[in-house]
Amino acid sequence: MDVEDAGMTPTTAPVTIRTDRLVLRTYRPGDHQDLLTFYGRSDVCRYLFNEPWSPDDAREAVQTRMSRRDLTAGAVALVVEYEGRVVGSVSAWLVDESGDAVDTERTAEVGWAFSPDFGGRGFATEAVTALIDLVFATPRLRRAVAQMDARNESSARLARRIGLRREAHFRQNAWIKNEWTDTVVFATLRSEWPTSL
């Protein structure tokens, strides 16, 4: 994904990013119905913080995510479409690892969820790669990280496939859905990311 080809300058969040097969775009009010088809599934939410969404949860999440349009302002959330159908969602948000040093380069955490109905076609690889391209097209972003439940093998495979390096495995560090869970952390630096070289 070329930031300029996406119709944006490096200092603004995208309205639309186009990859070879996908469109990543900001959220719209009617997206809750499409997102509910996979966020409402227990297998999709098994390793996420949230339980499967209800219709009200979906509307509320879309309303919140519609305002996440600019990573420089804190966060960007995008719906992933293939041939006009919503197949997933990706997000990036700033993580404060530098204390009060305003001029320090920042870290963005990335996250994703995809419909199993569209699995095995490389959509997640394509979309998350485009998201990290966006992260590193944003000024003063030095590092991208992805944290996940250590049991989420499909997300770990995706992280490795796109070139993230596993940096940590924290044992029983999070209390989620009434159980202690492990967290694994994957990351890459701007200097390591292919589109940033």
Q: What is the pLDDT of residues 128-142, one digit of tens each?
A: 999 999 999 998 999
Question: Which pair of structure tokens corresponds to residue 17?
Answer: 């990013």
- Dump pLDDT digits (tens) for 144-163: 999 999 999 999 999 999 99
Predicted local distance difference test score (pLDDT) of residue 104: 75
Residue 4 has pLDDT above 60, yes or no: no
At residue 20's C-alpha, the angle toward residues 14 and 23, to 5°, is: 40
Contact present, 88 and 127 (Cβ < 8 Å): yes
Strand 69-70 and strand 22-26: pairing? unpaired
Tell me what the pLDDT averaged over the chain comes to. 89
Give the three-state DSSP class for 125: helix
Mean pLDDT (whole number) for 16-31:
94
Residue 10 has pLDDT above 60, yes or no: no
Question: Which pair of structure tokens corresponds to residue 81?
Answer: 């479409």
Which pTM does this prediction carry? 0.88
Place of tokens 């859905």: 177
Share of the chain above pLDDT 90, in %: 79
Residue 197 has pLDDT above 60, yes or no: no
- Per-residue pLDDT band for 7 (boundaries 50, 70, 90) equals very low
Better-predicted residue by pLDDT, 102 or 71: 71
Q: Comparing C-alpha atoms, which of 89, 80, 85 is closest to residue 53?
A: 89
Q: Comparing C-alpha atoms, which of 183, 180, 151 is closest to residue 166?
A: 183
In whole angstroms, how far apart are CA 183 and each of 11, 107, 124?
A: 32, 18, 21
Predicted local distance difference test score (pLDDT) of residue 101: 54
Please, which residues bridge with residue 143 across strands?
Answer: 107, 189
